[in-house]
Every structure is written in C-alpha cells, then in structure tokens.
A and B are shown apart, each in its own frame.
Chain A
Amino acid sequence: MMQMMTRFAWVPLCAVLLAACGGGSSTPAGQPADQAGEAGQINGAGATFPYPIYSKWFSEYNKTHPTVRINYQSIGSGGGIRQVSSQTVFFGATDGPMTDEQLAGAPGRILHFPTVLGAVVPVYNVPGISGDLHFSGAVLADIILGRITKWNDPALVKLNPSAKLPASDITVVHRSDGSGTTFIFVDYLSKVSPAFKQQVGVSTSVMWPVGVGGKGNEGVAGLVSQTPGSIGYVELIYALQNKIAFGAVQNAAGEFVKASTDAVTKAAAEAAANMPADFRVSITNAAGAGAYPISSFTWILLYENPTDKAKATTMVDFMTWALTGGQTFATELGYAALPANVVERELAALKTIAVQ
C-alpha cells in the first residue's frame, strides 16, 4: 500500500512539470506568434545604467502591444556584449561602444543605436565649502592621478578664487566595480589630459593610481559624504535623485557648465554633426556653447540581419517608438533625451535592418 502511494504521488508532480515546460516555450493560446509579425518574447541583456528607462519603455510598449513581452536582464555592458555576440539574447545594450575587435568576433554585423544620454558629475566633500566648485578637465585629471594632493593647490584656487579652500589632503574615491560610469569619466579625462591617457587609459575598470574604491554609485556617494576632503564621481541621475551637490566642469568652449539634462542633450547635438555612420562615437569634451563635457550615449545592439524575422520586425517597431514617443519618458527619469538630428539618422539606420 505504501509503495502504491509513493508511486502515485509522482503523477501530479510530473503533470505539473510537463505543464510548466510546455507553457514556457509556447505562446499564449489564441495568439499565434507570427500574426501581424509580432513575436511573443524578446530577450535582451546588458548595461545597468539605462535599466530604469528600458523597463519603463518595455512596460509602456507592452500596454499598446499586449502580445509583445521584452525581457531585459541588466547584467552589465560586458555581459550584454558577450551574450549578444554568442546570440543567447536577441539584443544587447552597452554604455561603451563595442571595439572593432569585438565586432569582428560576432557571427554577424552588429549595429549600434543610441537610446538616451547620461552624464557623470564630480562630487566632493570639502569642509567649509558649500557652493559649487569649478573644475577644469586638466585639474580634474591631475587630482585623479594624485598629482594635485591638497585642496588649496594653486590650480584649484585659480579656478575657484572666491572659495575658501582648506589645506587638507584630497582623498580620491572611484568605482570599484566595472562600470559604464567609469568608462565615460576616464574617456573624458583621457581626452583632456595626455598624461592620464598614457598612465590610466580608457576601460570600464582601470588601474587607479591613488584612492579608494566604492561599489556602485551608492558606494562612491557614501564614501564621499563620510570622508572629509574627498572627491569622487557619480552618474548625474544618481546625484539628482539623491540631491547630492556636484561641481561644474569647464567644457571645450571654456565655459563652466553644471550638468543638467539640457546641457547633456546639447553636447550630443554638437557631436551629431560629425557622427560616424555606425553611431559609435564618444561625445565627451564636446564643442559648443552650453555643452556638458562628461556626457555619453548608451546604446542598444542589434544584428543587421537577424535570423528571427518576426522578432526583428517587432524590435524595429519598438525601437522606432522608443526613439520618438519613448523619448518623452527620458527627462522624468533623469536621462537626457536624444537630440532631433540624431533620432532622424537613427530612424534611417533602423530601416537597414533586414526584417524580411
């Protein structure tokens, strides 16, 4: 009897398992996958920085296209590039453009599409200073390199003549985790300081000459707020949402600009004039009045000729909406919207994706 019962106990379990497996792979009943060219579920993976707006876009898009579910895993830009290159996801997302070497390693041609813009701001904790400090690119680079070690260094005093800068030591706080935020920051510093480019270089993780590492924006912000005499960098969104004071940075035109979503969009509009056809462009240290110099695009990565045409059709439709109607969500979430001239060129590029 006992044996009988144990044997039969397996039956419902098996049924549940079978149902679960079956349910996962097929589309909901009554909604064929390829009707109207819409594919049920599309998977993507990549950067964490744009995750809030991407999830907003996916849920908004799902409201008007109930059969489409886009699933995005924010595993980091590196993971996004790896997964899209090995075709385990349909699209990738990254904060730093793929290198030529990475593109050559992918099984098909991968296109970059800028989606929104972000910026990185310098945050600091200097006893006795409440107003905004001014930084130039060269001075910022020298601080991070450990060449300027005191807050009352003549170079800093010259930029901030009215501030009462103390004679205390500077503690540099950087990101310890690999991050697009770091990429944008060191990309800027490498452009304005040859010494920085030579000694540190550009990557999502670099070898920092001095300082301590905090994990994530919250780690850096936490360390800066607690450590008198410290300076660090965080994403603009993070500083805005958490009401952290940050400094103004001198742009290529010589103005001191405090980061704002408008100043970031301006930087992108300036850079768009000589944008390469594949959109892989760094817009740090952009020329033009009012442009904030530590700004960057974030990109979605798509194959030019994807194998799954139904998914490609859906994705192109989604991207078209994200670049036009979707941009209205950017500012409320703290991202800078794309300038119109970039959107125009991207819409043209989307048409080159083979959906047939």
Chain B
Amino acid sequence: MRSRDLGFRLAVGTFALLLVLIVAAIGFELVRQSWLSIDRFGLGFWRTSLWDPVGGQFGALPFIWGTLYSSIAALLLAAPVALGIAVFLSELSPHWLRGPLTFLTELLAAIPSIVYGLWGIFVLVPAVRSLEASMPEGLRQLPIFSGPPLGVGMLSAALILAVMVVPFTSAVAREVLKTVPLAQREAAYALGATRFEAIRAALFYARTGIVGAVMLGFGRALGETMAVTMVIGNNPQVSASLFAPQYTMAAVIANEFTEATDALYLSALVEIGLVLFIITLLVNGLSRGLIWMMARRSPARAV
C-alpha cells in the first residue's frame, strides 16, 4: 500500500510539474520566435504605435491599449451584473427559479465566440450605431464619445466582451457566496440586520473569492479573439473614444498571422503574443497578490 501511495504522489506531482514546464516552454518558444523583432525594436516595441507591414515598422502600443481598454470597460460593465446575478441566485431567488436561471447563465458560456461575433455584426453593431447617432451633440464633444457613429468600435467590443464574461464571473461568485457559513448570516439577522445588510455582510465575508471571480473574467476578456475581431473595427490607433475603431493583441494575431510571409513581420506578430502572455501573467499575479493581501488583513477566510 505504501508503494502505491508513493506512486500516486509521483504521478500527480509529475502532472503538476508538467504544467509548469508547459508554461515555461511557451514562454521560451515565444521569446525564441520573436527574437528578430525583439532585437530590432527593443523596448520601443511596447511604446511605438506605428504598425506598417509594408515598411517593416512594428509597434505594439495600439494593441496593448485596445486590449486593456476593451477588457477593463467590459469588466466595469460585467462585474455589477454578474454580482447581481450571483446574489440573486444564491440569496434571493425563489427555489423553483434557481435551476432554470443558473442553466441559462451557464448556457451563455457555452455559445461559441464566432456566434457571438456574428450576433455582434448583425444585431449589436447596428443597435450601437443608432445609440451613437442619437447621442446629444453636447456629449459628443467629450473625448470619450468623439468620432463618427460607425457602430463598430470600442463600445461594441466592450459590450460583447461583457456578455461573454458575465457567466464566468457570476458562476464563480455564486459558488463563493455558497461557501459563506450559515452562522454568518444568522448572526447578522440576530443582530437585527435587514436582508440587504445581511447580504452585504455575506459579500464582505466572501470578498476575496469575489475579486478572484472578477479577475477570472478579466483574464478571459484579455484573450478573447474572434468576437472582438468582428466588432472592434480593427484600426490600430490609441484613442480614448468609445466610438473609435481600435484593435486588440489577440485580434491582430488572428487577422494577420496566416498571410504574414516576411520574417520580421512574423516575428513581430509572435512578439505581440509574447506581450499578451506577459500581460496575462502580470494580471494574474496582481489578482493573486490582491487576494493574498485581502485574506491576510482579515482573520475570516472565504475560500
């Protein structure tokens, strides 16, 4: 029996190590394949915004900007909705409604992103265009709403990402809320708390897990490719406007990789992948750090 125990340990240990090796191998390969571009452009790659495949000049700034902008905007839109769904499902929903609602939110996660993209082109973009066109002239002067009402652009991308992120964030947040001990709620009610106050206490108790749920959604938004490509307008520019067509890192790789023949061009595209990899690692690291800090500050632990 002892030897089996050891075998089991070795086996699962190998699997865990394998994962680390895969991540390291991806990082290594990305650096190796993008070496030509790293060597040529150096750190300027992160700072310059010219992307000219004909002239052989490549800078990733518009793509980094577009990726972060669309993901953060999507997060701001999705997080309140997702939390609302999670609270309703775990605290307020009548029992008979809980099953169907859970099923429907999880169904959103199962829709392929190309389907979201097509829905985006034919339904969301025209709706966004009429919204943009009906915006009062006074507001149009603001940098965030400037530009012609094209429909495709940052706003459509953020909206479609928000819809795609909601099921993930709400599913995890719901699970986290489930872990709040009954005693916690009962204590709140015993102290004369209203329902709202009791829920607020439960949310506070589960806050580290909820931050984790939101960051999971953020990670998904960063890497989402197809649906965003179809509605963001694919114009590499750094613009504060929600109406402006912009570009993301995942989208430019998907768009240009197949037809890239020039070695430097290809290498620059791989370096975009490397930048995305690094940013994803940073975001995950930051969220880990955030959770760790929050968990340390309070004696009560949620997850």
Contact = CB atoms under 8 A, between A and B. Distances in A.
A184 to B, nearest CB: 13
A205 B260 contact: yes
A222 B258 contact: no
Contacts of A82: 261
Nearest to B261: A78
Contact of A177 (B235, B245, B259): B259
B230 interface: yes
A203 interface: yes
A171 B260 contact: no
Given A201-B54, A212-B245, A213-B235, A176 B259 contact: no
Interface in A204-249: 204-208, 211-215, 219, 222-223, 226-227
A77 B52 CA distance: 19
Interface in B235-273: 235, 245, 251, 254-261
Contacts of B196: none
Contact of A212 (B122, B234, B257): B234
A75 interface: yes
A86 interface: no
B126 interface: yes
A177 B255 contact: yes
Contacts of B51: 207
A207 B261 contact: no
Interface in A135-159: none
B255 A171 contact: no
Interface stretch (B17-25, B145-153, B274-282): B145-153
A102 interface: yes
Interface residues of A, number: 35
Nearest to A47: B259
A207 B121 contact: no
A169 interface: yes
Contacts of B245: 211-213
A81 interface: yes
A215 B129 CA distance: 19
Contacts of A179: 259
B252 to A, nearest CB: 9
Contacts of B229: 176, 215
A77 B260 CA distance: 8
Contacts of A99: 261
A332 B16 CA distance: 56
B255 A205 contact: yes
A19 to B, nearest CB: 28
A180 B53 CA distance: 14
B171 interface: no
Contact of A205 (B153, B235, B259): B259
Nearest to B133: A228
Contact of B235 (A75, A204, A211): A211
A215 B234 contact: yes
12 contacts: A75-B258, A76-B259, A79-B258, A200-B54, A202-B54, A205-B259, A212-B245, A213-B233, A219-B121, A226-B151, A227-B129, A227-B151
The 6 closest A-B pairs by CB, nearest first: A178-B259, A76-B258, A213-B234, A176-B234, A201-B54, A204-B259
Interface of B: 50-55, 121-122, 125-126, 129, 148, 150-153, 229-230, 233-235, 245, 251, 254-261
Interface of A: 75-79, 81-82, 99, 102, 169, 171, 176-180, 200-208, 211-215, 219, 222-223, 226-227
